[in-house]
Structure 1
């Protein structure tokens, strides 16, 4: 036997795999961290694409969005969204202007934001608008254009072509005046007065209320 091959009595020969066994806990730890990182990355990518997919359908002319729970029993996880600066009510969003202009320019301004001058269909909607006017302007009296006008006396038509419904109209007493020079309609707001529509000349400058459908995501 070669002297280099001799082993002292009582001394065990070194195991060839001992260095690997000492490294195995580190290998497992590094592997676990890698798997965890990969799963987090996948989750973030899915969330990002999901969010992008939702908001691609929203109009692109608004700088930001304000969302509230939809409240529908069949859509508990959905949200109703309006552009920032717009007020939500039922299925619509409403914009109350800070400046004033004639009726035609008011309608064009609303159209430029993908909306139209407000169309009021119910008593609840009229009550909501009165409340919002009081909160925003905090004035005793103010005029705001709505989307109702006539091409001829008595032939009222809404800006979105909704037929005029006399039973859902909220004229002031003795209005409309049926004056051929007064073919556009404002809410002539006065505190605690619910019926406040008034026909006026379309050229006068007034504030305006725009309306658009809310986005559900």
Structure 2
């Protein structure tokens, strides 16, 4: 203990040998201000080195403590923000999950509705097709009735004429009777095919000319008057004249000055009459150099349909041309 006291006195004498500058000299009555304070910047004047070390350590500890506090606060803030972000992310995931489920549900509903609509459309298409088939069947039946209606009307008219004329023959209204046949002369034009179809709807056919008198009008003679024919028709001419079919003259009388389709065609490569009359063995009255199957009309194909001209001669024409026509049917006989 005596040694410690001596060390303190030695330190005190050293302090007196080194006065502090900057106005820190001995104060009044020989008192040093720094030595009068218990601490010099927090350290006692009697033991400056350990106290300075202590102050430095304290300041460093406080600085580290403050830094740790700040770091802890930052960690807390970051943790709080992270927790908040995780919560928001969870909410977003839940919302997205709900949205996805809702979208999938809507898609499923739309798909179901689309499938139902597709089934309904298929059903409607089937019903429409059935209705179209039914309408077509009704249309065909109506056409059939309309096709038979003129014949029924002619039969009825003929029956009335039969009772009125005490059992004679009759032709339909607007038809002309000549030599056992009824004839209808058009006032407009059609193609050969349409004209043939029109006659069929009237239960008739395009006129079949099998004798001179059936077509002659402007020659002015009777059966004995010469009629110019060529080729094998010359032999047939006399035979048909002898039969006495005078209706050839009648046809040209009602078609002049126009050409008119007749029921003769070679669409299959051979000339044939529409009623099956033998073409080779019957009367022919082609104009000179006809038929020539001329193809210069620039519409494709040859000339496969026959017309009777104003002079009574026949000529082959392009079947799609529009010409007048003559329908023929056998005279209805009622009994």
Q: What TM-score, normalized to structure 2?
A: 0.39
Partner of 2:200: 111
* Aligned residue number for residue 237 of structure 2: none
Determine whether 1:202 maps to 2:326.
no
Q: What are the within-5 Å matches in structure 2 for residues 186-201 of structure 1?
A: 186-190=307-311, 194=312, 196-201=313-318
CA spacing shift, 1:157–1:132, aligned 2, 3 Å? closer
1:2-81 matches, within 5 Å, as: 59-62=151-154, 64=157, 78-81=167-170
Seen in structure 2, the aligned counterparts of structure 1 residues 178 and 163 have a Cα distance that, compared at 3 Å, is same
Residue 167 of structure 1: CA displacement? 4.8
CA–CA separation in structure 2 for the residues paired with 1:172 and 1:78: 42
Matched, 1:171 2:286: yes
- 2:161 & 2:187 partners in 1: Cα distance? 22
Q: 1:172 is paired with a residue of what secondary structure?
A: coil
Which shifted more, 205-214 or 123-132? 123-132
User: TM-score under structure 1 normalisation?
Assistant: 0.58
Once residues 88 and 176 of structure 1 are traced to their aligned partners in structure 2, the CA distance between those partners, rounded to angstroms, is 30
Aligned length: 145
Partner of 1:144: 260
Counterpart of 1:54 in structure 2 is: none
Shift of 1:114: 0.5
CA distance in 2, matches of 1:145, 1:112: 17
Structure 2 unaligned spans of 5+: 1-149, 217-246, 295-300
Is the CA contact (8 Å cut-off) linking 2:267 and 2:304 kept in structure 1? yes
Alpha-carbon distance in structure 1 between the residues aligned to 2:280 and 2:181: 19
Give 5+ residue unaligned stretches, structure 1. Answer: 1-57, 69-76
| Cross-structure match for 2:273 | 158
CA 1:60–1:133 in structure 2 vs 1: closer, same or farther (change >3 Å)?
A: same
Larger radius of gyration: 2
Higher helix share: 2
Larger RCO, structure (CA 8 Å, separation 6 or more): 1
